[in-house]
Amino acid sequence: MMDTFRSPLSTRIGAGLAALGLLTAVGCSSGDADTSGSEQSGGEPAALSITPEDGAAEVRPDLPISVVAESGTITDVQVAIAGLEAEGANEMTGTLNEDKTEWTSDWTLAPGSEVTVTATAENGDGEETEVVSEFSTLAAEPGRRLELQSNFPTSGETVGVGMPVIVNFDLPVQNKAQVEAAMEVTSEEPVAGAWNWFGDQMAVFRPEEYWQPNQDVVVNLRLAGVQAADGVYGIENHQLRFEVGRSQITRIDSDTKRMLVERDGEQIQDFPTSLGMATTRAYTTTSGVHLTMEKYDRLVMDSATVGIPEGHPDYYKLDVDYAVRFSNSGEFTHSAPWNNQLGEANLSHGCPNLAPEDARWFYENSYMGDPLIITGTDRELEVDNGWGYWQRSWEEWLDNSATGEADNTGEAGTAGSPFSAAE
């Protein structure tokens, strides 16, 4: 379940949303609402309207809730979904305009839910008027329900300073700007960041620069009610919490054949290595900004997985220890006790070879998302090869965002809007 991040009361009013997942909004006003307690000794009672109107059914979940004070000022808005307690992620927030006469929900509503909106306003004498609107939202149809398939990192993990947020969906997303706007990233140390899409089912968030080390990051995937494609709605919200650990940046130079490890700004290791022999493209180590992705204490390396099948003159199959992956083209750092020219010649099939104890140290001291920067070869890392997302400049990254805008991870909300246009 997701936690809600609130802005100051002067700009936002939290509305308790008892919902496990999505949020859906629509429109009309409630004129026959309960105004008990509004009799006053002086001044006209405050007047309120709510959209969607009381009694509305099959309201589109991807339209906002609106509360308008025709007279008086809004003092409170609560949004609840029947049967669920309003806790943390189930809170709906909204934005109140400067003169406190209009409140609009920030997020979409859960499909197929019963919603109650309770709004309060007061007149100049401080006397209150309460209006209630109860309505139901359109259900998401089977086969047209967008769900989260997987994400990296997962909650509770400690990651390196280069770690992106990777979200994979089970269905294609056409309305990418709306889905981007529904995914909120906040961090203790604010940065500018943005989403890019790799195909129609994978979105990746990356900050402009590496994360500051030793901080918590929270990702609120407010997907419930977002219309991801025509008639396809998100059905559940999710929250991801992870920790950015110490800063560890590794640099490998093909020319010097050295692997230098820097921890929190200080060099702590200098290992001899041997990179790809570069007799073919497959045997050429990729240059660029890589990220460590996963690691194995023992791994079978089979050239058939990179297009060199058994029976080919260059075929190999090796058992290696302390393997740390940094691309999807078969590249790992690993122990290579058979290579007696570490630091002297590049003789591998593409992987940086290390002495057994050096490989073990790197294996034991690597987090997922640690930057590993390789220079000196003529094979450039592709942006979609593994997690090569830092290969794009920040300007290119923003150009490839559906909203075209950066998020500030120190503030609530996102660039763009999760709502679809009303028909």
Return the active site residues. Answer: 334, 351
151 and 282 share one domain:
no
Residue 416 lies in a domain: no
Domain span at residue 184 reads: 145-246+399-408
Query: Quick one: pLDDT at residue 307?
Result: 76
Residue 70 lies in a domain: yes
Which CATH number characterizes residue 182's domain? 2.60.40.3710
52 and 172 share one domain:
no
303, 316 Cβ separation under 8 angstroms: yes
165 and 115 share one domain:
no
156 and 238 share one domain:
yes
Calpha distance 143→263 (Å, rounded)? 48
- By DSSP bridging, strand 238-244 and strand 158-159 are parallel
Residue 103 lies in a domain: yes
290 and 237 share one domain:
no
Which CATH number characterizes residue 282's domain? 2.40.440.10
Query: Quick one: pLDDT at residue 107?
Result: 95
Residue 2 lies in a domain: no
Query: Residue 68 CA to chain centroid, in angstroms?
Result: 33
198 and 226 share one domain:
yes
Calpha distance 91→137 (Å, rounded)? 17
Calpha distance 361→207 (Å, rounded)? 29
Residue 364, φ and ψ in degrees, nearest 5: -75, -20
Number of separate domains in the chain: 3
Query: Quick one: pLDDT at residue 10?
Result: 30
263 and 383 share one domain:
yes
Query: Residue 150: enclosing H or E segment and its boundaries?
Result: strand 148-152
Calpha distance 151→131 (Å, rounded)? 41
The first and second tokens of residue 141, run together, are: 């149809």
Query: Quick one: pLDDT at residue 423?
Result: 72
301 conformational bin, left if phi > 0, alpha if psi -120 to 50, beta if neither: beta
Among 105, 136, 167, the domain-final residue is 136
Query: Residue 290 CA to chain centroid, in angstroms?
Result: 20
354 and 283 share one domain:
yes
168 and 46 share one domain:
no
Residue 1 lies in a domain: no
229 and 254 share one domain:
no
Residue 6 lies in a domain: no
27 and 55 share one domain:
yes
Among 136, 167, 194, the domain-final residue is 136
Residue 414 lies in a domain: no
The closest of 285, 296, 213 to 255, measured between CA atoms, is 285
Q: pLDDT averaged over consecutive 10-residue blocks of the chain (423 residues)?
A: 31 36 34 40 83 98 97 96 53 92 96 96 94 97 97 98 98 98 97 98 98 98 97 95 98 98 98 96 96 96 79 82 96 97 97 98 98 98 98 98 97 94 82
Residue 389, φ and ψ in degrees, nearest 5: -65, -20
Residue 5 lies in a domain: no
